[in-house]
């Protein structure tokens, strides 16, 4: 075991004292957390792959107990049938790694969407999101540790736009949202994934096998998740996929009032409108995403007058 792998061995021995780490490799795609895969020989002789999530400074400033919260959320969502990694261990001591970590199941799958059957993909995506939204603050599940989504958005609105790099859409979004925020509470507050998009889903053999990366979870209007998914589906698959997702969600969740969806669309669009230029996209991808974002914002502004 090389010196850089020794902390992982110590961590896994806390989970299973007789275990041994055989292999360590970094996983791509993580933004706020550093994600590392392990192959482990357990004490009873079985090999298993695990994932260690180490949380970054931004997460810890926003939520010092983000590791424990994500660990608990995985327990909650699995209990109601959401496909999600099994959580095994959480460590906030700081005596192995300098930041808190969770140890979770390694789920074999491909991130994002490569649909051969768009309808089936949309159905499974809606199934996952509506199951997440079945957990609300009135249930026996304690969600008091989660931030309120409208307050998260209020913080974003209070931030001054950078003098350069922000698109013209950012100013229009800010003006529209500043005029109405906070929105009236038309829907019951539910568990929100907080960053529900194709990159946070894993697929295998045409089946959605896991929803991952729960560090942005919050409690609030289900339309916040719907709006984020709409924009991401527009980017990934186009208008038809976005509209199909929206209508299928609406038909499944008849009690959800959609009157404020245009405002939640604008809230979802604010961050990319401000920050997309810093995402390091190639020219073609950036142009396509910018054009679709511009259409998305204009369409939302049109619906709010």
Contact at 8 Å (CB) between 124 and 229? no
Task: Report residue 71 as tokens.
Answer: 């660990």
Q: Show the domains of the chain with their CATH numbers.
A: 3-105 (3.30.200.20), 110-303 (3.90.1200.10)
Q: In 140-282, which ranges are continuous DSSP H helix?
A: 149-158, 168-178, 223-237, 239-252, 261-275
* pTM passes above 0.75: yes
Contact at 8 Å (CB) between 197 and 164? no
Contact at 8 Å (CB) between 107 and 85? yes
Tens-level pLDDT at each residue, the chain (305 residues):
566 789 999 999 999 999 999 999 999 755 668 999 999 999 999 999 999 999 887 777 777 789 999 999 999 999 999 999 999 999 999 899 999 999 999 999 998 776 678 899 999 999 999 999 999 867 668 899 999 999 999 988 887 565 555 678 898 999 999 999 999 999 999 999 999 999 899 999 989 999 999 989 999 999 999 999 999 999 999 999 999 999 999 999 999 999 999 999 999 999 999 889 888 999 999 999 999 999 999 999 999 97
Cβ neighbour number for residue 182 with a 10 Å cutoff: 12
Q: How many CA atoms lie within 13 A of 50 on its CB side?
A: 28
Contact at 8 Å (CB) between 266 and 201? no
């Amino acid at each position: 075991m090389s010196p850089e792998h020794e902390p992982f061995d110590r961590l896994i021995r806390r989970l299973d004292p007789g275990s041994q780490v055989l292999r360590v490799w970094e996983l791509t795609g993580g933004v706020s957390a550093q994600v590392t895969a392990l192959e482990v020989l357990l004490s009873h002789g079985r090999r298993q792959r695990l994932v260690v999530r180490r949380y970054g400074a931004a997460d810890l400033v926003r939520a010092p107990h983000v590791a424990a919260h994500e660990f608990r959320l995985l327990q909650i969502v699995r209990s109601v049938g959401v496909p999600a990694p099994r959580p095994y261990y959480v460590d906030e001591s700081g005596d192995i790694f300098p930041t808190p970590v969770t140890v979770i199941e390694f789920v074999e799958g491909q991130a994002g969407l490569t649909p051969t059957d768009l309808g089936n993909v949309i159905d499974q995506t809606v199934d996952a999101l509506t199951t997440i939204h079945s957990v609300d603050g009135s249930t026996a599940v304690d969600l008091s540790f989660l931030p309120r989504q409208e307050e998260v958005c209020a913080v974003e609105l209070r931030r001054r736009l950078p003098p350069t790099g922000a698109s013209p859409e950012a100013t229009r979004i800010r003006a529209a949202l500043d005029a109405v925020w906070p929105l009236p509470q038309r829907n019951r507050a539910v568990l929100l994934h907080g960053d529900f998009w194709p990159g946070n889903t894993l697929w295998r053999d045409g089946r959605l096998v896991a929803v991952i990366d729960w560090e942005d979870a919050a409690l609030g209007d289900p339309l916040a998740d719907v709006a984020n998914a709409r924009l991401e589906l527009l980017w990934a698959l186009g208008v038809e996929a976005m509209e199909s997702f929206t209508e299928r969600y609406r038909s499944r969740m008849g009690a959800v009032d959609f009157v404020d969806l245009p405002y939640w669309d604008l809230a979802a669009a604010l961050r990319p409108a401000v920050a997309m230029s810093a995402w390091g996209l190639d020219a073609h991808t950036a142009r396509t995403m910018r054009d679709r974002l511009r259409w998305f914002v204009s369409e939302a502004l049109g619906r709010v007058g």
